[in-house]
Structure formats: structure tokens, C-alpha cells
Amino acid sequence: MKITHNKVGQNLNLVDGLKQDKLDGTKAAKDALSTSGGLSTLGAEATNVQLSDRAQEAKRIKELATAAPDVDMAKVEKFRALIDAGKYKVDARAIADRMVDEHLETTN
């Protein structure tokens, strides 16, 4: 739908034209891939990537972090049973002392 008698219509026509240009560009990219043999030609350059020592270390850390389970379900069940039985008691003073100690360690 083209509306050319006001600015709103002109803006809509511009947007529609941009969408068509994008679609034409996407079609051209697909055509180029199909004529050049697909992704295998493009992927040949990506196989020669060299990572810095720092990047390799970050990759190892990420792998270790994702390999470890997030939650120790045995521990959760143990504390859930204690709470349900009314036997889990919190020592607020010990927790507060530990929080203060940890804060002092991080600020020094």
C-alpha cells in the first residue's frame, strides 16, 4: 500500500523499500552460496584460528565451570530433611562474624 500525500506514507514507503532491499540482499547472498559450493568454501578460512594463551585459559575455565554440577542435590536433600524435622538451627552470630571477616579480607 502506497500513501504519497503525507509524510507518514512517505516514511512507510521508505521502510517498505528498505525491507525489499534487505530481502534482495539476502537472496543474493543465498545465490552466491549456492553457486560457490555452499559453506564448505567459506569454512576453509575459519579452520586456521589461533587462540592466545589467555583465550585458551578462558576456554578451559569455561569448560570446567560448565562440567561441574551446579547443585549438590545430596546436600540439598540433607538440609531439606533437617529443616522439615525442625532440627536445622542457624547460628546468626557465627554467620555475621564470617560475613564481616570475608568483607575485611576483600577490602585489604
What is the C-alpha to C-alpha distance for residues 98 and 94, in angstroms, rounded to an integer?
Answer: 6
Count of the separate structural domains present in the chain: 1
Domain that holds residue 18: 1-49
Is 39 within the bounds of a domain? yes
0.85 cut: is pTM over it? no
- Burial group, residue 87, by CB count within 10 angstroms (0-12, 13-18, 19+): exposed
Query: In a structure prediction context, what are the per-residue pLDDT tens digits for the chain, which is 108 residues long?
Result: 555 555 555 554 554 555 555 555 555 555 555 555 544 555 455 578 788 999 999 999 888 888 877 788 899 999 999 999 999 999 999 999 999 999 999 887
